[in-house]
Amino acid sequence: MVIEQIEAQLPGAILDRHDFRGDTTIVVDGARLLEVVDCIFREGFQMLLDVTAVDLETRELRFDVVYHLLNLVSQDRLRIKVQVGEGVALPSLTSRFKSANWSEREVFDLFGIPFTDHPGLERLLMWPDFPGHPLRKDYPLDGGDPFCNQDIGASYAPLARSLNA
């Protein structure tokens, strides 16, 4: 499988690997991301479907940047995760995949994770001088607007999670 190829050609690049419900995930070091991506590109993973991120606020390396790739020939899927801390930049994949352009802009907009060598890294979904990064866990759902959650019985706010902590 492709993971054996990566381990053969780039020893030490893969930090962790797990399979869950048929999905293969590898955790890669940010510094070696471009090498790993070039290796799997040669193995046939030529479509980058999606770049997204998860905010694990209590961990030291706060964000998990997640890449989903598809091999059109063998129909295999691969998920690559890179753990980054607050303010640390990742290399952009726009030179390899054109679909990375807007996906990385969205991650920058909603999480605040910068990407180096991106042709135009600016906000995508929010307006240019929007303060903050909405999908971070410390950003409130109503964005600081007190009218938003007024007069409703079951609040959507973080209290909704307390029943099953």
Partner 1 sequence: MEPSKYAQPVPSGPVDGERMTVNMGPSHPSTHGTLHIVLELDGEFILKATPIIGYLHRGVEKLGESLTYQQFIPLTDRLNYCSSLMNNVGYTLAVEKLLDIQDPPRSRVLRVLCSELARLGDHLVCVGINAVDIGAFTAFLYLFRERETIYDLFEMMAGQRLHSSFTRIGGLFRDIPPEFEPLCGQFVESVQRTIDEMEGLLTHNPIWADRTKGVGCITPENAISWGYTGPCLRAAGVAHDLRKAQPYLDYETYDFDIPVGTTGDVYDRYLVRTEEMRQSVRIIRQCLDRLKQIGPGPVIIDDYKIALPPKEKVYTRMESLIHHFKLIMHGIDMPVGEVYRATEAANGELGFYLVSHGAKSPYRIHVRPPCFPIFSSFDEQVRGRIIADAVAVLGAMNVIAGELDR
Partner 2 sequence: MGAIDLDDAVLTTRLDAVINWGRKNSLWPMPFGTACCAIEFMSVMASRYDMSRFGAEAMRFSPRQSDMLMILGTITNKQAPVLRQIYAQMAEPKWVVAVGVCASSGGMYRTYATLQGADRVIPVDVYVPGCPPRPETMLYGVMELQKKISRESLSARKEHIERFYASMARQEELQEAKGLSSQQVVREMVVAAGEQGGQQIW
* Phi, psi (rounded to 5 degrees) for 24: -100, 125
Q: Is 132 in the site for partner 1 (CB under 8 A)?
A: no
The stretch near partner 2 (CB under 8 A) out of 42-50, 60-68, 82-90, 121-129 is 121-129
Which of 2, 5, 67, 59 shows the shortest CA–CA distance to 34? 67
- In angstroms, rounded to a whole number, what is the distance separating the alpha carbons of residues 114 and 72? 29
Nearest to partner 1 of 153, 161 (CB atom): 161
Nearest to partner 1 of 32, 133 (CB atom): 133
In the numeric block, which tokens belong to residue 75? Answer: 């129909």
One residue of 11, 87, 116, 127 binding partner 2 per CB under 8 A: 127
Q: Is 153 in the site for partner 2 (CB under 8 A)?
A: no
Site for partner 2 in 32-91 (CB under 8 A): none
* Phi, psi (rounded to 5 degrees) for 101: -55, -65
